[in-house]
Amino acid sequence: MRVLVLHSDVAPDAPPDEQDTLVAADAVADALASRGHRASLSPFVFDLETLRSVIAEYRPDVVFNMVEAIFRHCELAAIVPTLLEKLNVPYTGCPSAPMAMAGDKPLAKKFLRLAGLPTPDWDEVPYNNTAHDVRYVVKSATEDASLGLDGGAVVTGRDAVLQRAGSSHRKHGGRWFVEAYIEGREFNISVLEENGEPRVLPIPEMVFHNWDANRPRIVGYDAKWSEASPEYNQTIRQFRSEAEEPALYRKLTELSTVAWRLFRLKGFARVDFRVSEAGEPFILEINPNPCLEPGSGFAAAAEAAGMDYAEAIERILAAALATR
Ligand SMILES: Nc1ncnc2c1ncn2[C@@H]1O[C@H](COP(=O)(O)OP(=O)(O)OP(=O)(O)O)[C@@H](O)[C@H]1O
Ligand SMILES: [Mg+2]
Protein backbone atom coordinates (compact mmCIF):
# COMPACT_ATOMS: atom_id res chain seq x y z
CA MET A 1 0.00 0.00 0.00
CA ARG A 2 1.19 3.55 -0.71
CA VAL A 3 1.22 5.51 2.53
CA LEU A 4 2.11 9.18 2.88
CA VAL A 5 3.29 10.05 6.39
CA LEU A 6 2.26 13.68 6.69
CA HIS A 7 3.91 15.41 9.64
CA SER A 8 4.24 18.85 11.22
CA ASP A 9 6.64 21.20 9.48
CA VAL A 10 9.21 21.42 12.27
CA ALA A 11 12.05 23.96 12.20
CA PRO A 12 15.54 22.49 12.66
CA ASP A 13 16.05 24.54 15.85
CA ALA A 14 12.64 23.68 17.34
CA PRO A 15 12.48 22.51 20.99
CA PRO A 16 12.47 18.78 21.79
CA ASP A 17 8.69 18.50 22.14
CA GLU A 18 8.38 19.54 18.48
CA GLN A 19 11.38 17.56 17.19
CA ASP A 20 9.67 14.54 18.66
CA THR A 21 7.11 14.64 15.81
CA LEU A 22 9.89 14.04 13.29
CA VAL A 23 11.34 11.19 15.33
CA ALA A 24 7.86 9.64 15.47
CA ALA A 25 7.20 10.21 11.75
CA ASP A 26 10.50 8.51 10.80
CA ALA A 27 9.73 5.60 13.10
CA VAL A 28 6.24 5.20 11.62
CA ALA A 29 7.60 5.33 8.04
CA ASP A 30 10.22 2.68 8.91
CA ALA A 31 7.57 0.52 10.58
CA LEU A 32 5.33 0.78 7.51
CA ALA A 33 8.23 -0.08 5.20
CA SER A 34 9.06 -3.11 7.37
CA ARG A 35 5.50 -4.33 6.79
CA GLY A 36 5.89 -4.08 3.04
CA HIS A 37 4.22 -0.70 2.45
CA ARG A 38 5.63 2.07 0.27
CA ALA A 39 5.96 4.85 2.81
CA SER A 40 6.94 8.43 2.00
CA LEU A 41 7.33 11.40 4.33
CA SER A 42 6.19 14.95 3.72
CA PRO A 43 5.80 18.02 5.95
CA PHE A 44 2.36 19.62 6.01
CA VAL A 45 2.35 23.08 4.43
CA PHE A 46 -0.62 25.27 5.30
CA ASP A 47 -1.94 25.74 1.79
CA LEU A 48 -4.63 23.67 0.08
CA GLU A 49 -3.00 23.81 -3.36
CA THR A 50 0.33 22.64 -1.97
CA LEU A 51 -1.42 19.79 -0.18
CA ARG A 52 -3.28 18.93 -3.38
CA SER A 53 -0.02 18.75 -5.32
CA VAL A 54 1.66 16.66 -2.59
CA ILE A 55 -1.24 14.20 -2.78
CA ALA A 56 -1.09 14.22 -6.61
CA GLU A 57 2.64 13.52 -6.50
CA TYR A 58 2.59 10.65 -4.00
CA ARG A 59 -0.88 9.24 -4.89
CA PRO A 60 -1.23 7.64 -1.43
CA ASP A 61 -3.87 5.00 -0.70
CA VAL A 62 -3.92 6.49 2.78
CA VAL A 63 -2.32 9.39 4.64
CA PHE A 64 -0.79 8.64 8.02
CA ASN A 65 -1.69 11.91 9.73
CA MET A 66 1.03 13.01 12.14
CA VAL A 67 0.43 16.74 11.97
CA GLU A 68 0.45 17.82 15.62
CA ALA A 69 0.76 21.56 15.12
CA ILE A 70 0.68 24.24 12.45
CA PHE A 71 2.79 27.36 12.95
CA ARG A 72 3.64 25.65 16.29
CA HIS A 73 -0.01 25.82 17.45
CA CYS A 74 -1.66 22.52 18.35
CA GLU A 75 -5.21 23.74 17.90
CA LEU A 76 -4.62 24.52 14.21
CA ALA A 77 -3.74 20.88 13.48
CA ALA A 78 -7.44 20.03 13.66
CA ILE A 79 -8.01 21.36 10.14
CA VAL A 80 -5.82 18.69 8.52
CA PRO A 81 -8.38 15.85 8.57
CA THR A 82 -10.98 18.14 6.98
CA LEU A 83 -8.57 19.10 4.19
CA LEU A 84 -7.81 15.42 3.56
CA GLU A 85 -11.53 14.65 3.45
CA LYS A 86 -12.00 17.38 0.85
CA LEU A 87 -9.28 15.74 -1.23
CA ASN A 88 -10.96 12.32 -0.81
CA VAL A 89 -7.93 10.71 0.80
CA PRO A 90 -8.40 8.26 3.68
CA TYR A 91 -6.33 9.19 6.73
CA THR A 92 -5.39 7.66 10.06
CA GLY A 93 -6.72 8.79 13.42
CA CYS A 94 -9.29 11.29 14.46
CA PRO A 95 -11.47 13.58 12.29
CA SER A 96 -11.35 17.36 12.76
CA ALA A 97 -14.31 18.04 15.02
CA PRO A 98 -13.43 15.68 17.89
CA MET A 99 -9.81 16.72 17.59
CA ALA A 100 -10.73 20.38 17.95
CA MET A 101 -13.10 19.65 20.79
CA ALA A 102 -10.65 17.51 22.76
CA GLY A 103 -7.92 20.04 21.97
CA ASP A 104 -9.77 22.80 23.79
CA LYS A 105 -9.38 21.46 27.30
CA PRO A 106 -11.98 23.58 29.13
CA LEU A 107 -14.52 22.84 26.39
CA ALA A 108 -13.73 19.13 26.57
CA LYS A 109 -14.12 19.25 30.36
CA LYS A 110 -17.50 20.92 30.03
CA PHE A 111 -18.56 18.16 27.66
CA LEU A 112 -17.26 15.47 30.06
CA ARG A 113 -19.04 17.11 32.97
CA LEU A 114 -22.35 17.34 31.09
CA ALA A 115 -22.03 13.66 30.21
CA GLY A 116 -21.49 12.82 33.89
CA LEU A 117 -17.85 11.76 33.51
CA PRO A 118 -15.48 12.79 36.31
CA THR A 119 -13.05 15.63 35.62
CA PRO A 120 -11.51 17.99 38.19
CA ASP A 121 -13.21 21.33 38.90
CA TRP A 122 -11.86 24.18 36.80
CA ASP A 123 -12.16 27.89 36.13
CA GLU A 124 -11.32 30.25 33.31
CA VAL A 125 -10.59 33.96 32.81
CA PRO A 126 -11.44 36.08 34.84
CA TYR A 127 -11.17 33.31 37.46
CA ASN A 128 -14.11 34.59 39.49
CA ASN A 129 -14.94 31.11 40.78
CA THR A 130 -11.38 30.38 41.84
CA ALA A 131 -11.30 29.73 45.58
CA HIS A 132 -8.78 31.14 48.04
CA ASP A 133 -7.94 27.89 49.74
CA VAL A 134 -7.83 25.39 46.85
CA ARG A 135 -4.67 24.11 45.17
CA TYR A 136 -4.75 24.51 41.38
CA VAL A 137 -2.73 23.68 38.31
CA VAL A 138 -2.47 26.59 35.86
CA LYS A 139 -2.56 25.03 32.37
CA SER A 140 -2.74 26.00 28.72
CA ALA A 141 -6.24 25.57 27.31
CA THR A 142 -4.97 24.36 23.95
CA GLU A 143 -1.32 23.30 24.01
CA ASP A 144 -0.08 19.87 24.98
CA ALA A 145 3.29 18.25 25.78
CA SER A 146 3.16 19.93 29.22
CA LEU A 147 4.05 23.30 27.73
CA GLY A 148 4.45 25.82 30.55
CA LEU A 149 4.05 23.16 33.24
CA ASP A 150 6.64 23.16 35.98
CA GLY A 151 6.47 23.07 39.77
CA GLY A 152 5.42 26.74 39.76
CA ALA A 153 2.24 25.87 37.86
CA VAL A 154 0.75 24.37 41.04
CA VAL A 155 -0.50 27.26 43.18
CA THR A 156 -3.00 27.88 45.96
CA GLY A 157 -5.68 30.57 45.86
CA ARG A 158 -6.95 33.14 43.40
CA ASP A 159 -4.18 35.72 43.85
CA ALA A 160 -1.49 33.17 43.03
CA VAL A 161 -3.60 31.93 40.11
CA LEU A 162 -3.88 35.43 38.66
CA GLN A 163 -0.15 35.92 38.94
CA ARG A 164 0.81 32.60 37.38
CA ALA A 165 -1.83 32.73 34.62
CA GLY A 166 -0.68 36.27 33.76
CA SER A 167 2.97 35.27 33.49
CA SER A 168 2.17 32.11 31.47
CA HIS A 169 0.02 34.16 29.11
CA ARG A 170 2.78 36.73 28.62
CA LYS A 171 5.41 34.07 28.08
CA HIS A 172 3.54 31.62 25.86
CA GLY A 173 0.45 33.51 24.64
CA GLY A 174 -2.96 31.87 24.35
CA ARG A 175 -5.59 31.02 26.96
CA TRP A 176 -4.74 29.64 30.40
CA PHE A 177 -7.20 28.00 32.75
CA VAL A 178 -7.00 26.51 36.21
CA GLU A 179 -7.89 23.03 37.34
CA ALA A 180 -8.12 21.69 40.88
CA TYR A 181 -4.89 19.85 41.63
CA ILE A 182 -5.56 16.17 42.25
CA GLU A 183 -3.03 14.76 44.67
CA GLY A 184 -2.67 11.06 44.06
CA ARG A 185 -1.72 8.67 41.27
CA GLU A 186 -1.51 9.09 37.51
CA PHE A 187 -2.53 6.70 34.71
CA ASN A 188 -2.41 7.10 30.91
CA ILE A 189 -4.86 4.86 29.08
CA SER A 190 -4.14 4.05 25.45
CA VAL A 191 -7.05 2.99 23.26
CA LEU A 192 -6.80 1.38 19.82
CA GLU A 193 -9.65 0.90 17.39
CA GLU A 194 -10.23 -2.71 16.40
CA ASN A 195 -13.10 -3.74 14.14
CA GLY A 196 -14.67 -0.34 14.71
CA GLU A 197 -14.59 -0.72 18.49
CA PRO A 198 -12.29 0.82 21.12
CA ARG A 199 -9.85 -1.63 22.71
CA VAL A 200 -8.21 -0.47 25.92
CA LEU A 201 -4.54 -1.54 25.99
CA PRO A 202 -2.71 -2.53 29.20
CA ILE A 203 -2.70 0.37 31.64
CA PRO A 204 0.52 1.92 32.94
CA GLU A 205 0.90 4.07 36.01
CA MET A 206 3.29 7.01 35.95
CA VAL A 207 5.16 6.57 39.21
CA PHE A 208 6.87 9.53 40.88
CA HIS A 209 9.94 7.79 42.23
CA ASN A 210 11.73 9.29 45.24
CA TRP A 211 10.16 12.69 44.76
CA ASP A 212 10.75 15.38 47.31
CA ALA A 213 7.74 15.64 49.58
CA ASN A 214 7.39 19.34 48.65
CA ARG A 215 7.65 19.00 44.88
CA PRO A 216 4.23 18.77 43.16
CA ARG A 217 3.79 15.35 41.62
CA ILE A 218 3.14 16.33 38.04
CA VAL A 219 4.47 15.09 34.70
CA GLY A 220 5.67 18.55 33.70
CA TYR A 221 7.75 19.74 30.75
CA ASP A 222 11.09 18.57 32.19
CA ALA A 223 9.68 15.16 33.11
CA LYS A 224 8.76 14.70 29.44
CA TRP A 225 11.57 16.41 27.59
CA SER A 226 14.67 17.26 29.68
CA GLU A 227 16.55 13.98 29.74
CA ALA A 228 19.14 15.19 32.25
CA SER A 229 16.58 16.49 34.76
CA PRO A 230 15.66 14.69 37.99
CA GLU A 231 11.99 14.95 36.95
CA TYR A 232 12.69 12.98 33.73
CA ASN A 233 14.62 10.28 35.55
CA GLN A 234 12.27 9.98 38.49
CA THR A 235 9.04 9.65 36.50
CA ILE A 236 8.72 6.00 35.64
CA ARG A 237 6.06 4.25 33.56
CA GLN A 238 5.07 0.99 35.21
CA PHE A 239 2.73 -1.72 33.98
CA ARG A 240 1.37 -3.77 36.83
CA SER A 241 -0.97 -6.71 36.79
CA GLU A 242 -4.59 -5.65 36.53
CA ALA A 243 -5.34 -8.42 39.01
CA GLU A 244 -3.74 -6.31 41.76
CA GLU A 245 -6.45 -3.64 41.57
CA PRO A 246 -9.26 -5.04 39.44
CA ALA A 247 -11.91 -2.48 40.45
CA LEU A 248 -9.67 0.50 39.62
CA TYR A 249 -8.55 -0.96 36.28
CA ARG A 250 -12.14 -1.80 35.38
CA LYS A 251 -13.21 1.75 36.16
CA LEU A 252 -10.37 3.31 34.13
CA THR A 253 -11.20 0.99 31.22
CA GLU A 254 -14.88 1.83 31.36
CA LEU A 255 -14.33 5.59 31.61
CA SER A 256 -11.86 5.57 28.70
CA THR A 257 -14.31 3.60 26.55
CA VAL A 258 -17.19 5.95 27.37
CA ALA A 259 -14.97 8.98 26.64
CA TRP A 260 -13.96 7.42 23.29
CA ARG A 261 -17.60 7.02 22.28
CA LEU A 262 -18.63 10.42 23.65
CA PHE A 263 -15.99 12.27 21.63
CA ARG A 264 -16.42 9.94 18.63
CA LEU A 265 -12.69 9.23 18.55
CA LYS A 266 -11.16 7.20 15.73
CA GLY A 267 -8.09 5.06 15.23
CA PHE A 268 -6.15 5.58 18.43
CA ALA A 269 -6.18 7.84 21.46
CA ARG A 270 -4.88 8.27 24.99
CA VAL A 271 -6.93 9.33 27.99
CA ASP A 272 -4.96 10.81 30.91
CA PHE A 273 -6.20 10.29 34.45
CA ARG A 274 -5.39 11.25 37.99
CA VAL A 275 -6.73 9.07 40.78
CA SER A 276 -7.26 10.88 44.06
CA GLU A 277 -5.94 9.61 47.37
CA ALA A 278 -9.50 8.40 48.03
CA GLY A 279 -9.24 6.24 44.90
CA GLU A 280 -11.53 8.35 42.72
CA PRO A 281 -10.50 8.63 39.05
CA PHE A 282 -10.63 11.99 37.23
CA ILE A 283 -10.14 12.51 33.50
CA LEU A 284 -7.55 15.24 32.93
CA GLU A 285 -7.67 15.21 29.17
CA ILE A 286 -8.32 13.24 26.02
CA ASN A 287 -5.58 13.01 23.41
CA PRO A 288 -6.75 12.07 19.91
CA ASN A 289 -3.76 11.01 17.75
CA PRO A 290 -1.34 10.84 20.70
CA CYS A 291 2.43 10.70 20.25
CA LEU A 292 3.62 7.55 18.44
CA GLU A 293 7.30 7.89 19.11
CA PRO A 294 8.70 4.40 19.95
CA GLY A 295 9.24 5.39 23.63
CA SER A 296 5.77 6.94 23.97
CA GLY A 297 2.99 5.80 26.26
CA PHE A 298 0.97 4.50 23.33
CA ALA A 299 3.87 2.43 21.92
CA ALA A 300 4.62 1.06 25.40
CA ALA A 301 0.99 0.06 25.94
CA ALA A 302 0.86 -1.68 22.53
CA GLU A 303 4.03 -3.57 23.41
CA ALA A 304 2.55 -4.59 26.76
CA ALA A 305 -0.40 -5.96 24.76
CA GLY A 306 2.05 -8.16 22.84
CA MET A 307 2.15 -6.06 19.66
CA ASP A 308 5.47 -4.97 18.31
CA TYR A 309 5.71 -1.36 17.17
CA ALA A 310 5.19 -2.11 13.47
CA GLU A 311 2.11 -4.19 14.22
CA ALA A 312 0.57 -1.36 16.28
CA ILE A 313 1.21 1.06 13.39
CA GLU A 314 -0.31 -1.41 10.93
CA ARG A 315 -3.46 -1.64 13.08
CA ILE A 316 -3.85 2.14 13.10
CA LEU A 317 -3.58 2.03 9.31
CA ALA A 318 -6.13 -0.79 9.14
CA ALA A 319 -8.60 1.21 11.25
CA ALA A 320 -8.31 4.12 8.78
CA LEU A 321 -9.15 1.88 5.85
CA ALA A 322 -11.85 -0.19 7.52
CA THR A 323 -14.19 2.66 8.23
CA ARG A 324 -13.85 5.05 5.32
N1 LIG B 1 -5.61 18.74 37.77
C2 LIG B 1 -4.42 18.16 37.87
N3 LIG B 1 -4.06 17.55 39.02
C4 LIG B 1 -2.85 16.97 39.13
N5 LIG B 1 -1.94 16.94 38.15
C6 LIG B 1 -2.24 17.53 36.99
C7 LIG B 1 -3.49 18.16 36.78
N8 LIG B 1 -3.51 18.66 35.53
C9 LIG B 1 -2.32 18.33 34.97
N10 LIG B 1 -1.56 17.65 35.85
C11 LIG B 1 -0.21 17.13 35.60
O12 LIG B 1 0.32 17.75 34.44
C13 LIG B 1 0.52 16.78 33.39
C14 LIG B 1 0.15 17.38 32.05
O15 LIG B 1 -1.21 17.74 32.06
P16 LIG B 1 -2.16 17.45 30.83
O17 LIG B 1 -2.12 15.99 30.53
O18 LIG B 1 -3.47 18.05 31.09
O19 LIG B 1 -1.41 18.31 29.74
P20 LIG B 1 -0.74 18.12 28.34
O21 LIG B 1 0.31 19.15 28.30
O22 LIG B 1 -1.81 18.20 27.33
O23 LIG B 1 -0.11 16.71 28.28
P24 LIG B 1 0.12 15.70 27.05
O25 LIG B 1 1.60 15.71 26.81
O26 LIG B 1 -0.34 14.44 27.68
O27 LIG B 1 -0.69 16.08 25.88
C28 LIG B 1 -0.35 15.60 33.79
O29 LIG B 1 0.16 14.42 33.22
C30 LIG B 1 -0.27 15.64 35.31
O31 LIG B 1 0.92 15.05 35.79
MG1 LIG C 1 -1.63 14.71 29.19
What would the DSSP string read from start to end of 43-104? E--S-HHHHHHHHHHH--SEEEEE---BTTBGGGGGHHHHHHHHTT--BSS--HHHHHHHHS
As a whole number of angstroms, the distance between CA 239 and CA 252 comes to 14
Q: What was the pLDDT predicted at 88?
A: 95
Check pocket membership of 144 for ligand 1, CB cut-off 6 A. Answer: yes
Classify 210 as helix, strand or coil. coil
With CA atoms as reference, report the closest residue to 220 among 232, 212, 210: 232
Residues in the chain where the model's pLDDT stays below 50: none
With CA atoms as reference, report the closest residue to 98 among 292, 271, 295, 310: 271
CB-CB contact of 122 with 176 (8 Å): no
CATH, domain range 101-119+182-322: 3.30.470.20
Check pocket membership of 186 for ligand 1, CB cut-off 6 A. Answer: yes
Nearest ligand, measured from the Cα of 220:
1
pLDDT tens for 243-274 read 999 999 999 999 999 999 999 999 999 999 99
Check pocket membership of 21 for ligand 1, CB cut-off 6 A. Answer: no
For residue 234, count other CB atoms closer than 10 A to its CB. 15
pTM: 0.96
Amino acid at 200: V
Q: What was the pLDDT predicted at 283?
A: 98
Q: Ligand 1: which of 94, 99, 113, 139 to mutate, judged by most atoms within 8 Å of the beta carbon?
A: 139
CB-CB contact of 27 with 309 (8 Å): yes
Q: What was the pLDDT predicted at 146?
A: 85
Q: What was the pLDDT predicted at 324?
A: 54
Residue nearest to atom 26 of ligand 1 (CA): 145
Check pocket membership of 285 for ligand 1, CB cut-off 6 A. Answer: yes
CATH, domain range 122-180: 3.30.1490
- Rounded distance from Cα 85 to ligand 1 centre (Å): 31
Q: What was the pLDDT predicted at 149?
A: 92
